[in-house]
Amino acid sequence: MSYATLGEKLAANAGRPTGFDYLRLALSIAIVGVHSAITSYGEAAGAMVWQLPARPLVGLLLPMFFALSGFLVAGSLFRTTSLVHFLGLRVIRIYPALAVEVLISALLIGPVLSSFSLRQYFSHPEFYLYLLNATGDIHYLLPGLFHDNPYPNIVNMQLWTVPFELGCYVALSLLAALGIRRHRWMAPLGTAFLMAAYFLVRVFVKKEWAAIALVGGLPGPLLVASFLAGVSLFLYKDQLPWSRSLCIGSGILSMSLVGFIPFGDFVVAPVVAYFTVTLGVTNATKIRLLQGADYSYGVYLYGFVLQQGLAAAFPGAREWWINILCCVPAAVGVAALSWHVIEKPALRLRWAFQPKMRTERDLTGAASSEPSLQVAQRS
């Protein structure tokens, strides 16, 4: 059976395709795998990852995550009656698990592994600054922690994306206030503007023309552009085609743009968003362990600190393959605990907003084919 559009493919799976669930978990685990190099051997090894033949695949991980989030979070926006409701749903999805992870790092992992005495540790300014991570104000250091690691001092490097994720919600809220529900073209226009603006700033403001080619992962502004591209696909899902050949073609083009084509990083956002969504709206049987659960956020939150803890506690385990064998299962296990103890109970608070929510039919006059509330709220 063929599907003419992304929206029809989504509707055919009752608005709850498993592709998004598998994709989120796979991307989060892959990021832990990439971090195995830097946490095992240091910054130089982390930089070498971007020189390997796998660079195109590695370069797609974060933009795919942001594009996926844009598509699903746009569905959440279209089911709320106000920005207060929308932002409230974002808060209960992001902050409870983030706050708990910050407290575990600061109050448990830090005191156990720090080279400082407990008195020195808890009186040090870095300890109090680190607690601000729970608000989205990111700090990477805890007193006396991980000084002798191959990648020294840094506790949670992956948190650098949190301010940009929050920026995505601010950008979408601004577009909603300007009327994106009625004027869908604002999302692709915003995507194009952000890509062009970032390129021009690099060239004419920072004067980096000689070194304009991006080395490493996409910078934050281009991740926000990927998010807005995902939003755009949601808004035009009933007009955009879906097919296996287009999925494969967009995947190949995405890898080429981030891996081989000069300046391709600056324009990859809409292409990688299409590739991500075409994968996400597919449906496969979900294994029993993952039914009704989303462990990807927990893997993202805990993966790096577990890897740093392994390197600190067991110097003999500073090999990338040992890192992966130990830390991926550990991260998934801790993520499962986070989901069932913190994230899922927090999401029950969404029912406080349910009486004032309405469907896309109410907002657009058309039958809704967006992901279900359960799927979108977990994004």
Which residues, in sequence order, are bridge partners of residue 5?
241
pLDDT of residue 145: 98
Q: Which of 44-53, 87-96, 179-188 is the least confident region?
A: 44-53
Q: Which of 29-33, 287-291, 317-321, 362-366 is the least confident region?
A: 362-366
pLDDT tens, position by position, 262-290: 888 899 999 999 999 999 999 888 787 77
Would residue 123 count as lying in a domain? no
Residue type, 103: L
pLDDT-above-90 percentage for the chain: 71
pLDDT of residue 185: 96
Domain membership of residue 225 as a residue range: 6-101+145-377
Q: Which of 80-84, 137-141, 167-171, 227-231 is the least confident region?
A: 80-84
Distance of CA 120 to the CA centre of its chain: 35
Would residue 134 count as lying in a domain? no
Would residue 85 count as lying in a domain? yes
* Count of domains observed in the chain: 1
pLDDT tens, position by position, 186-216: 999 999 999 999 988 887 777 666 545 556 7
Would residue 94 count as lying in a domain? yes
Q: What is the mean pLDDT of the chain?
A: 88
Q: State how far the Cα of 368 lies from the Cα of 17, in Å rounded to an integer.
A: 15
Would residue 198 count as lying in a domain? yes
Assess whether pLDDT exceeds 70 at residue 1: no
Assess whether pLDDT exceeds 70 at residue 3: no
Helix (H, G, I), strand (E, B) or coil at 155: coil
Using CA atoms of 317, 318, 323, 325 in order, give the dihedral in degrees to the nearest 10: -40
Assess whether pLDDT exceeds 80 at residue 309: yes
pLDDT of residue 352: 66
* Nearest residue to 192 (alpha-carbon basis) of 155, 152, 226, 144: 226
Would residue 114 count as lying in a domain? no
Q: State how far the Cα of 89 lies from the Cα of 97, in Å rounded to an integer.
A: 14
Overall pTM > 0.85: yes
Assess whether pLDDT exceeds 80 at residue 54: yes
Contact between residue 18 and residue 283 where contact means Cβ atoms under 8 Å apart? yes
Q: Where are the alpha helices (DSSP H) in the chain?
A: 6-12, 19-41, 43-48, 55-78, 83-104, 110-113, 118-123, 125-131, 162-177, 186-200, 220-235, 244-259, 269-280, 296-313, 320-338, 344-347, 360-364, 373-377
Assess whether pLDDT exceeds 90 at residue 97: yes
Q: Which of 8-12, 180-184, 211-215, 344-348 is the least confident region?
A: 211-215
Helix (H, G, I), strand (E, B) or coil at 241: strand
Q: How confident is the model at residue 373 (pLDDT cuts 50, 70, 90)?
A: very low
* DSSP at 210: G
Q: Where are the alpha helices (DSSP H) in 261-295?
A: 269-280
Would residue 65 count as lying in a domain? yes
Would residue 53 count as lying in a domain? yes
pLDDT of residue 351: 66
- Encoding tokens for residue 225? 């552009």
pLDDT of residue 212: 53
pLDDT of residue 2: 57
